[in-house]
Amino acid sequence: MKYKDQRIGVLVDIQNLYYSARVLYGKKVNFKNLLISAVENRKLIRAIGYGIATEDAQEDKFFDALEKVGFEVKTKNLQIFAGGQKKGDWDVGIAMDAVKLAQRVDVIIIASGDGDYIPLVEYIQSTTGCRVEGVSFGESTSMRLIESLDDFLDLSSNKKKFLI
């Protein structure tokens, strides 16, 4: 159930949504429309986008654009290992922020289709009474994650609105 006086925290795994949109549709995510639709006329307390910064800083303009539409942007550097393998993810950072933020809001919205968030969702629901909603592309979202959420917004349901 969604109520106008609910306090909302939105946590966006930028890489997860970016790659899902690119692989599924060859397009980019409209993060402004994502935020508006996720909040759905409720009280936005905090919106955080978690991104990976590369050495050439190509994504700086993108991060600036996210800030202009209402996101606080947290970044970490892309890790490049000796064998050339690259790694950059925010799963633990998002989980830590979600647990902390759940004490101050009524609803946590996780924008990612990653099934690794299932234990986080269940923990928040069982220990704080906070609702947990999800936002992602249905085709690339863990079915078990969708089942564990209190509500799910499938970005694939309105491609014109959520893709650029």
Question: Tens digits of per-residue pLDDT, 89-111?
Answer: 899 999 999 999 999 999 999 99
Q: Tell me how far apart the alpha carbons of residues 120 and 94 are, in angstroms, rounded to a whole number.
A: 10
- Residues 43-91 have pLDDT tens digits of 999 999 999 987 776 788 999 999 999 999 999 887 676 776 766 789 9
Give the count of beta carbons closer than 10 Å to the beta carbon of residue 6. 17
2-56: pLDDT as tens digits: 999 999 999 999 999 999 999 999 999 999 999 999 999 999 999 999 999 877 7
Instruction: List CB contacts of 127: < 8 A, sequence separation 6 or more.
Output: none
- What is the residue extent of each domain of the chain? 7-46+89-162
pLDDT of residue 83: 74
Q: Which two tokens stand for residue 164?
A: 């650029």
When the pLDDT of each residue in the chain is averaged and rounded to a whole number, the result is 94
Whether residue 118 has pLDDT greater than 80 = yes
- Within a 10 A sphere around the Cβ of 64, how many other Cβ atoms? 10
Coil vs helix vs strand at 62: helix
Say which DSSP state 71 is in: -
Contact of 153 with 160, CB cutoff 8 Å: no
Closest by alpha carbon to 91, among 9, 5, 13, 18?
13
CATH T-level topology, domain 7-46+89-162:
Rossmann fold (3.40.50)
For residue 117, give the nearest of 94, 89, 151, 137 by alpha carbon.
94
Alpha-helical segments (H) within the chain = 14-25, 31-39, 60-68, 91-101, 118-128, 143-148, 159-162
